[in-house]
Amino acid sequence: MGAASWRAWSVQVVVDEDREIYANWGLGVSTTWHLLNPWTEVARQKLGKQEGIWGREVDPSGNRWVVGGSWATDEMGTIKWGAASKSADEIPDLVEACKSVGVATVA
């Protein structure tokens, strides 16, 4: 990646041990179906067979049952892209996230 294809970002990290912010964004505890549906199980098997990644221990501060999600916001904090994951195997399109806030991506 060339120097012209990136820029510095001002990032604020928020530690939310009680997960109140997660809840405000719709990221509560998932259902069994969200985590263990047939499509997620197929994706898990594929990841294990192709990448050798099977189960990983969850950090004590984490919770595998919390719904994931991805968002992109502009400089003013307005959400331009994103949502809570529909299932545990959903991979967000981060290229689209970058485009939504005017950040060039490398092909």
- State the pLDDT at residue 41: 92
Write out pLDDT tens, residues 42-75: 999 999 999 998 888 888 877 888 898 888 888 8
CB 46 within 8 A of CB 53: no
- State the pLDDT at residue 73: 87
Q: Against a cut of 0.75, is the pTM above it? A: no
- CA angle at 29 for the pair 27 and 31, rounded to the nearest 5°: 115
pLDDT band at 12 (very low <50, low <70, confident <90, very high): low
* Amino acid identity at 88: A
- State the pLDDT at residue 107: 62
> Who's near 97: CB < 8 A, 6+ residues apart?
70, 71, 72, 81, 82
